[in-house]
Structure 1
């Protein structure tokens, strides 16, 4: 792996340092909709462009989640961040989990927003063709975004998401990233990690659904939590930004209360409650979908 300085921008000057990592279809502008309402006094958010995206669009590399994790650690060193939390959307969620293997002692908490599991997402048949050709075919990207948001979003938004993706990513890098996040299974390297880990799933996302999170994320991490956003699909930053901010920042703030035996017990109880509430929220959303209009 070659050393590379990831482009970034920092929002806030709080003591709790947080990286925000984008997904397959966007650069760091993926977080634009949540920026106005972040708690900048409590947190310092560093939004990054992975290799092949945004200001790093022309950067060479392997375009893998493992390489990205090393890049983030090097950026943390440059920023003087000894410990930090990581938020990752979709592909960025796989990068966040890679950090548990690369630098577990430096990670405070991880948050996956519709995160790709550490076991990858094997593709086959028509689905494989849809994804592998998406680097060069706008209609494939549009179809993927439409399906993963439940087919409920306006045409203009879908078109804007595709235009941003094509403008801010390199086609070759985009295609190479797919082989890493979809095809690599590093779950054995991270299963059992004691780092608190929150998965945020959109109830309208059929690909990285709450059930997928229960089978993967919730089974691997002893201190895992699952939050389900009933009104969101795969792009909670755009679909339900305020609900996402509240969910994520409440989880990050809990880091300061953990340590004593009593706090550990309270945290464990909270895990169980959140997991149960997530199941109930998902079930309720599914029932509503079956109701007549």
Structure 2
């Protein structure tokens, strides 16, 4: 199968207190293990991780929190290494390590099986779980998901993304373009400010090498886990067409939903449409015989 090797960029009833920081915690055998900082919303039997993207911590899901079905689902919003309460956590900052971190957190929470929602880079993390713990996954949903084949940039694009680690104007330019150039300046400013405050610059740069440069599509391809991709019609980078060439061609039980009014940040841009689309997909697991965790 021909996989794209280059994608061009044109022109979240019960809330548990977050863990007290990203420090390593002792285990019974004297070793240490890292626990992703997280917060839980809802106490439904269908457990779901929500994983943020490159520009944000778990607050990326703030706009959808009021509309979550907390009866059917129990959501755990996490901070990946280098973000939010895990800003000071050591790397590696890779999608593979993030998948392992999620499995360890599932063990800690007592979740035998679970679903995963992942935005952008978080969508790549969700696909990594297809290779790490497929037997524990009920469903995955990628919101503008980075392909498992990565997104290797060259030339000016490579410089734009690499320098975004320390240049606010680069982050703003990327957010503006990928939201279709239609969002107000105040929203762009808020997104950039939040991104700078909630991410460590060195980790941010290291994450780029993983989600953009690593290709694990051959390992994920053929997975029978139901997989929904939600694409924003206004997103020129991870467009519906990119999803069709990647996600839809790799996963036999894949689905594609296109949100006409969204760019790359559907959680902010179209939160009601997004949560309805994703929860309908997750809820279908019960109709197809998926049992509780």
After superposition, give the CA deviation of every residue in 1:250-269 in whole Å (9 maximum; x if it has no partner): 00000011149xxxxxxxxx
Check if 1:118 corresponds to 2:148: yes
Shift of 1:4: 1.2
After superposition, give the CA deviation of every residue in 1:101-153 in whole Å (9 maximum; x if it has no partner): 00000000000000000000010011000000001000000000000000000
Aligned to 1:59: 89
Aligned to 1:88: 118
Aligned to 1:289: none
In 2: Cα distance, 1:248 partner to 1:168 partner: 26
Counterparts of 1:144-293 in structure 2, within 5 Å, are 144-259=174-289
**Range 135-144 or range 250-259, more displaced:** 250-259
After superposition, give the CA deviation of every residue in 1:224-268 in whole Å (9 maximum; x if it has no partner): 0000000000000000000000000000000011149xxxxxxxx
In 1: Cα distance, 2:140 partner to 2:66 partner: 22
Q: Which runs of 5+ in 1 are unaligned?
A: 261-293
CA contact (8 A) 1:116 1:208 kept: yes
TM-score (norm 2): 0.88
TM-score (norm 1): 0.88
Give the match's secondary structure for 1:233.
coil
Among 163, 183, 189, which residue is 1:133 paired with?
Answer: 163
User: After TM superposition, which residue ranges in structure 1, 4 or more long, deviate above 3 angstroms?
Assistant: none
Q: What root-mean-square deviation, in Å, do the aligned CA atoms of Structure 1 and Structure 2 show?
A: 0.9
After superposition, give the CA deviation of every residue in 1:194-239 in whole Å (9 maximum; x if it has no partner): 0000000000000000000000000000000000000000000000
Shift of 1:61: 1.1
Give the match's secondary structure for 2:33.
coil
Higher RCO (CA 8 Å, separation ≥ 6 residues) = 2
